[in-house]
A and B are shown apart, each in its own frame.
Chain A
Amino acid sequence: MDPQASNQPAVTQPPFWESDLFLNAIPIVAVGLLVYAFVTARKQPLWAEAFRRIRRNPLALVALGVILLYAGIALLDSFGSTDAKTQTRKTILDNIFEREQERTYSAPFASVTTGEPKPQKLKAPGSHLMGTDGVGNDVFYRTLKGARTAFIIGGLTSLIATPLALILGMVAGFYGKWRDDLIQYVYTVLASIPSILLLIALVLVLGRGVVQICIALGVTRWVGLCRLTRGETLKHRDREYVRAAKALGASDFRILTRHILPNLLPIVIISVTLGFSGLVLSEAILSYLGIGIDPGGGIGSWGNMINAARSELARDPVIWWNLTSASVALFILVLAFNIFGDALRDAIDPRLRS
């Protein structure tokens, strides 16, 4: 036993899911999986044709570019290292865009504070692209921080809701009878509860962390996709090729996973892409209502920024940059996802019809 060691204040080792290794590995795995999915899909004529169509659609390319830009910002905010001394994690984004904290509000590119009876000189005059907020944080930097949260909310919720919807929808559509009745009953009941009430209840029970909000959103968001999957499965179940597969002696599991699922994928992917923007908006709405991401947690959130901006609009002079910055960032991402989702649907649909 080393007496010195026991005297020192114990340096608390962060749990594994907060370690740099884990936090840096997640985005790599996520990007890797997406690239793998893309490369695999390109070999399929349906997708190869869809990608060709998208390449010929300038609007879709712009939307995709915007999405990739946001994704790039989110990635910059994902890789980082923990400072051994201060025990705080700094991401690449933090190192580039973080500005010195000012006293209070300041307008974009201003050199003095706003809202104080006697304007004070800023510590970093002219460097705040979108000004600073009430406690002197750089608004542009905070807006950029929101991108990662948006992608986590959209991605993780999709990861929770999609498998749930797919499995239940396929089982209901393929087997029918009591399984169909049961699953339909469950989602009809769920859909008849106002989703915002359900969300509030779930968030209150689970807590206000990002993962908890994703779970809450996932639980309320699978119904639409489940309905879609059930209907599509019902359609494919009676197709000749499914009957042909049965006549070859294929098991139900094989027919569901190997024959029906690949035929559902295009429509599922379109639906998830279009749903993504709704999820990003949901986060903002929840945060605006004060039941979203905990504003004290240091996690970026456009909803929290908009929420904070509520009182600012009543001030004189009007503090507009906080609200504008967050709203525009949110608006552009949602618009880009909607345009891209529509383009994806148009690119795939003609082949679905034939």
Chain B
Amino acid sequence: MRNILQNETPLLQVENLRTYFSSARGTVKAVDGVSFTVNRGETRAIVGESGCGKSMTALSILQLVPEPAGYIDGGRILFEGEDLLDRTWEQMRDVRGKDIGMIFQEPMTSLNPTFTIGWQLREAMTIHGKGVEEANERAIELLGRVGMPDPVQHLKQYPHELSGGMRQRVMIAMALANRPKLLIADEPTTALDVTVQAQILALIRELQLETGMAVLLITHDLGIVAEISDHVTVMYAGQAVEDSPTRDLFREPRHPYTRGLFASLPARNRRGQDLATLEGTVPDAANWPRGCRFEERCAYNFGACSEIAPKENPTGSDRPVRCHLWDPEIPNRPSVGLPVAK
């Protein structure tokens, strides 16, 4: 809202992104027409279960989709108004690590085991033209900033000498080395202990307030979404099914899938009961169903669901929901507790 009032172009605008993989079974449409925006300084979370295409969406932005099978089939990725897909591989290198930093899920393997922390931190900066001396000073500063107790000593250490939480701090320091405008965090806390998770999230939040960067957070954890994001995109089967300000989503989830996710969370008022689960699995990405992709698992499905693919934003509101229940043009919608669109 703030940015619309200020009439700014969003920092990152992904439009109808399609990332496909060619495989022996045919074309796997991992990301199939995803759109969202990230405004300056805000946090956008992409949430969804394993295999829904959220990581591939993140990798597509930096064009790091695993080759040779994966490729970006179409769409636009506007960063500060410029389409990154128009850039050559060489030109993309200026964006990576400089304008957009990225941290990964596995801090245990994201650092090269053969080099010291200091070497790798300095490299993050010397690639983009900083001198070695300057890079070294900044490396010490960064390690201190991400909460490493003894930065000068840590520079000489190798990754295997650090714990997972420490390594993730180093990864964050590397990603932030060149003061990026956008930080993409691909499940940054999944591989960490719960206590360390909270620390890392607090650190990201803190650094964000300090530097004013935007964060694109990929996660499957609604708890993390509630904690640090401003906007949420819920992804299912390669598509965005719901896009909403975080507070509104938690107050009133609209898509049946989102509702299912919330229902499967442990809650205080359901103590002692079994956790609800979403029955079934995601359909085959090489062969998406003709109609709604969630239809088989949906508690509210009706006639139109298996026949017609739902529109991305049937109501045309600022809270898009990819579901027939919200589409005024679909006849005979059951009213099953979902509020009707205004």
Contacts and interface: CB of A to CB of B under 8 A. Distances in A.
Most buried by A among B94, B123, B158: B123
Given A262-B115, A354-B160, A244 B95 contact: no
A241 B97 contact: no
B28 to A, nearest CB: 17
B102 A247 contact: yes
Most buried by B among A44, A177, A241: A241
A249 B94 contact: yes
Interface residues of A, number: 24
B127 A250 contact: yes
Contacts of A354: 160
Nearest to B108: A240
A263 B64 contact: no
Nearest to A252: B89
B106 A240 contact: yes
B95 A239 contact: no
A244 B106 CA distance: 10
B228 interface: no
A250 B113 contact: no
Given A45-B160, A176-B68, A241-B110, A248 B127 contact: yes
Interface string B85-99: 000000001111110
Interface in A162-210: 176-177
Contacts of A238: 66
Nearest to A174: B67
Nearest to B177: A248
B236 interface: no
A248 B104 contact: no
B269 interface: no
A243 interface: yes
Nearest to A244: B110
B64 A259 contact: no
Interface in B23-46: none
B interface secondary structure, majority: loop
A44 to B, nearest CB: 7
A46 interface: yes
B112 A263 contact: yes
Contact of B109 (A45, A240, A248): A240
B97 A247 contact: yes
A249 B127 contact: yes
Contacts of A241: 109-113
B124 interface: yes
B160 A249 contact: no
A4 B121 CA distance: 72
Contacts of A245: 112, 123
A254 interface: yes
B96 A263 contact: no
Given A247-B97, A262-B115, A240 B104 contact: yes
B127 A240 contact: no
B110 A249 contact: no
A263 B113 contact: yes
B101 interface: yes
B247 interface: no
A176 B69 CA distance: 11
A282 to B, nearest CB: 32
A251 B175 CA distance: 17
A181 to B, nearest CB: 11
Contact of A248 (B59, B67, B124): B124
A310 interface: no
Contact of B98 (A45, A46, A246, A249): A249
A262 B113 CA distance: 9
A247 to B, nearest CB: 4
A258 interface: yes
A262 B123 contact: no
A45 B158 contact: yes
Interface string B156-199: 00101100000000010011000000000000000000000000
A243 B55 CA distance: 13
Interface string A96-126: 0000000000000000000000000000000
A352 to B, nearest CB: 9
Contacts of B112: 241, 245, 259, 262-263
Given A177-B68, A249-B98, A263 B160 contact: no
Nearest to A248: B97
B128 interface: yes
A250 B111 CA distance: 14
Given A177-B68, A263-B114, A248 B106 contact: no
Nearest to B114: A262
Nearest to A265: B114
Interface string B65-78: 01110000000000
22 contacts: A44-B114, A45-B158, A46-B113, A176-B67, A238-B66, A240-B104, A241-B112, A241-B113, A244-B102, A244-B104, A244-B110, A246-B96, A247-B97, A247-B102, A247-B175, A248-B127, A248-B174, A249-B93, A250-B123, A251-B93, A258-B123, A263-B114
